Chain A
Amino acid sequence: MNEPNGIPVIRVKNMMKKFGDFVANDNLNFEVYKGEIFGFLGANGAGKTTAMKVLCGLSVPTSGEITVAGYDAYTQTEEIKRSIGYMSQKFSLYEDLTVEENFQFYAGIYKVPAKEIKPRLEESLNKVGLFEHRKKLIGSLPLGWKQKLAFSVATFHQPEIVFLDEPTSGVDPVARRNFWEQIFETSDRGITVFVTTHYMDEAEYCNRVSIMDQGKIVALDTPSKLKELYQVDNIFDLFLKIVR
């Protein structure tokens, strides 16, 4: 795991997001660094999804200073969207398109230069060992493969940051671990990984984790420092200790 070198790619200062009287994000303050694997944990309904939508340029914050990849979260949401990748368990790829077609579709959306598509596609597919399956429909592939491919697609346009929303939910234990190796490699290439998960062992693979509860960030540090601070053996116990 590489150590983050301290160049912030996400800056969040005093971020508030309200829906009417309801405060979904209550004065969030944090930075995420280049190449870092940043775990974004919290209880259901703590406000993680709301914050992620702001960081992905899909929702405008109520107040605060927020930049993502150097772009302003109020006025430059289109630039933000072009600089990031996104993947979730629920929405990944088009089942009735082939592997190759899915890549070409996303490459088109993100305006990857036409002559670069073919060599990059070959490289991406070789890296996950699925080049020979490029003509197969996504719908016909096992879940673990789809997961890997969805991640490759999300990073195909070489974004500065990739957001992963519960990427490993429901996959088998071996595929889940292989997926994390893909995350490590991506972070080694300098792409920042912003990830949510309900698997507490996965939180320990992150360079730093934040834990949200009722709209606030209640803890943020490296997993080992947090364990030391709260005197617990693992992140699961930490979570139980500080959430509710």
Chain B
Amino acid sequence: MYGEVRALDNVSFEISEGELFGFIGPDGAGKSSLFRILTSLLLATSGKATLCGFDTEKDFKNIRNITGYMPGRFSLYSDLSVEENLEFFATVFGTSIKENYDLIHDVYCQIEPFKTRLAGKLSGGMKQKLALSCALIHKPRVLILDEPTTGVDAVSRKEFWELLKGLKSKGITIIVSTPYMDEAQLCDRVALIQHGKILAIDKPSEITKSYERQLFGISSENIHKLLVDLRVYPGVLHAYAFGQTIHYTGKDTTENLDNLWSYLKECGHARLEINPIEPGIEDVFIDLMQNEKLSVEQ
């Protein structure tokens, strides 16, 4: 708690060795506070957390040796070069770049051509790769990455997840947070988190299976008007735009599609299509938010 703010509210979970585990949620959900507690940088108001058997409060020295942490904000030394930063982190942990080079190779080789450049002069994507290299150089058992892909373009995000997959195959446990719901599919298990609470925790495929209602994808020539019309339809529970399709769920589980179809035809929609679709993580997140009345919009 920060004063009266409950950044994390009775959070309980376990992560297995070698797992790639994701905390999925928007800004302010409590992801960073949680990661600071797990890395021994912040004390929990109450409750207990252990990593590889070490208590985050009592055994903080061990915790710091076995974890590699990449904070959300770039926090390397801007006035040291790429290589000097890496050298520094290796030395602090009593190792050398050479000793663990194989572990960082896939990440570091991409920025090695710029190793004499000051860290402060790197592009966003390169800073991120340097930060990951520095978090890995002491061969941590657990890698904790706070929003490594925020503000990163779709192609670079894909590459970054490939790197994580490679690290996982080397036996490192990876705990990662992200506000991009589509990245959930790339994790072994995920926790959906909002307002300090875990809304769901499971394999991504199980989480999407938990969506109880039938979801329909509806499209027409005028997507904005379609959304407006669906919002006032008597049978609507939620209607949200996902690109050029509206994801629609009805209040009644035995939704009469004929009624919906003729309603939308009467509204004048051309090229109307209604198809049953499988929900994604974002659909489930929206649904859970509504259930918990947690959205700021409620």
Contacts and interface: CB of A to CB of B under 8 A. Distances in A.
A and B: interacting chains: yes
A14 interface: no
A204 interface: yes
B222 A174 contact: no
A14 B282 CA distance: 41
A7 interface: no
Given A177-B241, A240-B158, A172 B153 contact: no
B232 interface: no
Interface string B77-105: 00000000000000000000000000000
B154 A223 contact: no
Interface size class of A (residues with CB under 8 A): 35 or more
Contact of B240 (A142, A143, A174, A184): A174
B297 interface: yes
Interface stretch (A38-46, A51-59, A73-81, A101-109): A38-46
B126 to A, nearest CB: 9
A235 B125 CA distance: 21
Contact of B243 (A45, A143, A172, A205): A205
B38 to A, nearest CB: 21
A44 B123 contact: yes
Nearest to B124: A44
Given A1-B223, A224-B244, A173 B296 contact: no
Q: Which of B153, B241, B244 neighbours the largest number of chain A CB atoms within 10 Å of its CB?
A: B153
Contacts of A46: 153
Contacts of A200: 154
Contact of A45 (B125, B151, B295): B125
Interface stretch (A28-36, A152-160, A163-171): A163-171
B121 interface: no
B153 A42 contact: yes
A144 B296 contact: yes
Contact of A175 (B153, B224, B297): B297
Interface string B173-186: 00000011110000
Interface string A210-228: 0000000000000110000
A144 B295 CA distance: 9
A201 interface: yes
User: Chain B, interface size: which category?
Assistant: 35 or more
Interface string A169-187: 1111111011011001000
A19 to B, nearest CB: 13
Given A143-B28, A170-B27, A44 B286 contact: no
Contacts of A224: 244
Interface string B257-298: 000000000000000000000000010011001100001110
B59 to A, nearest CB: 33
A55 B156 CA distance: 26
B116 interface: no
Contacts of A171: 26-27, 179
Contact of A243 (B150, B155, B182, B223): B155
B295 A172 contact: yes
A234 interface: yes
B133 interface: no
B296 A169 contact: no
A180 B157 CA distance: 23
Nearest to B156: A44
B153 A173 contact: no
B233 interface: no
Contacts of A42: 153
B152 interface: yes
Contacts of A181: 227
Nearest to A42: B153
A44 B289 contact: no
B114 interface: no
Interface in B226-245: 227, 240-244
A201 B296 CA distance: 22
B153 A174 contact: no
Contacts of A184: 224
A239 B125 CA distance: 17
Contacts of A205: 223, 241, 243
A239 B159 CA distance: 13
B40 interface: no
A214 to B, nearest CB: 12
24 contacts: A1-B223, A44-B123, A44-B152, A44-B156, A45-B123, A45-B124, A142-B296, A143-B27, A143-B28, A144-B296, A169-B150, A170-B27, A172-B25, A172-B26, A172-B285, A172-B295, A173-B181, A174-B286, A175-B26, A180-B241, A198-B154, A205-B243, A243-B154, A243-B155
Closest 10 CB pairs of A and B: A204-B243, A170-B27, A142-B296, A172-B26, A144-B296, A201-B243, A43-B153, A1-B224, A174-B295, A170-B179
Given A174-B295, A199-B180, 18 more contacts: A44-B123, A44-B125, A44-B151, A44-B152, A44-B156, A45-B124, A142-B296, A143-B26, A170-B150, A172-B285, A172-B295, A173-B26, A174-B297, A205-B241, A223-B243, A236-B182, A239-B153, A240-B155
